Structure 1
Amino acid sequence: MADPADGRQRIPAQSPFEEEIGFTRALRVGDRIVVSGTVGVETDGSVKEDAGAQADRCFALIREHIEQLGGRMADVVRIRMFATDIKDADAISAAFSRALKHARPTGTLVAIAGLYDPRWKVEIEAEAVIGSGQ
């Protein structure tokens, strides 16, 4: 829904951190959608141990956010993936392929020291341009 103050469309807040810290999970400005770092937390709050399963969940959430804002996964032009262990790169890359191989967006995967919750093994950001996908 569009914010009357700035005209941006945002999905509804999904965690208390969004209001407390002041960020938006996913935002549409014109034909561009930007999705904040997304982790693989399940609906019930659990987190699967496998990094590939976490990445699959990240991409499912990213899809939901993009579709809520009027886009499609085919519109994704950039993905950034942050892994806490580079040994999980193949599993995370496989999830990327399952979700986006058809769209062939740019992609970055880097290893980082850690994430907010030690159970989280991957965090993924996305950018889409509505109407750019085939």
Structure 2
Amino acid sequence: MSKRTRIPPLSPFEEQAGFTRALRTGNRIVCSGTIGVEEDGSVSPDAGKQADRCFALIKGYIEELGGAMEDVVRVRMFATDIKDADAITAAFTRALAHVRPTGTLVAIAALYHPSWKVEIEAEAVIGDE
């Protein structure tokens, strides 16, 4: 059985709900849905800025688990308003155009908090041959 390495919980909710923001098993890193919340708890009203923050957080999680953004193979983006698709796609391009992972962007009805406009998941494979 593969050993799972997790990043430490960043909120009490993770322990309560029993989920992990990001984990590594073997050469694979999986990042849970990530929201663009700033360190001070604030959230930009701009979907593109939220997406930029999501990718910055995801980058940190992947690096903490021994990977790099160049290892990303898949990204899933969930937007609460399809009108924000271009701004979210621009953030994807800034973060990952050089890597060219697979990507999906879909519109959804809502996220947990009304100020959240985008949630992003990512998967990476380290040392893919």
Partner of residue 83, structure 2: 87
**In 2, are the aligned partners of 1:9 and 1:27 still within 8 Å (CA)?**
yes
Cα RMSD for the two superposed structures: 1.4
Once the two structures are superposed, what CA deviation does each residue of 1:59-97 show, in whole Å capped at 9, x if it has no partner?
000000000000000000000000000000000000000
Q: Which sections of structure 2, spanning at least 5 residues, go unmatched?
A: none
Q: Does 1:104 align with 2:100?
A: yes
Cα distance in 2 for residues equivalent to 1:20 and 1:104: 36
Correspondences of 1:42-53 after superposition (within 5 Å): 42-53=38-49
Q: Which sections of structure 1, spanning at least 5 residues, go unmatched?
A: 1-5
Counterpart among 87, 110, 114 of residue 114 in structure 1: 110
Cα distance in 2 for residues equivalent to 1:132 and 1:30: 11
Partner of residue 39, structure 1: 35
Q: List 4+ stretches of structure 1 deviating above 2 A.
A: none
Identity among equivalent pairs (%): 76
Correspondences of 1:14-33 after superposition (within 5 Å): 14-33=10-29
Which amino acid in 2 is paired with 1:63?
Answer: K
What is the TM-score when the length of structure 2 is the normalising length? 0.97
What is the TM-score when the length of structure 1 is the normalising length? 0.94
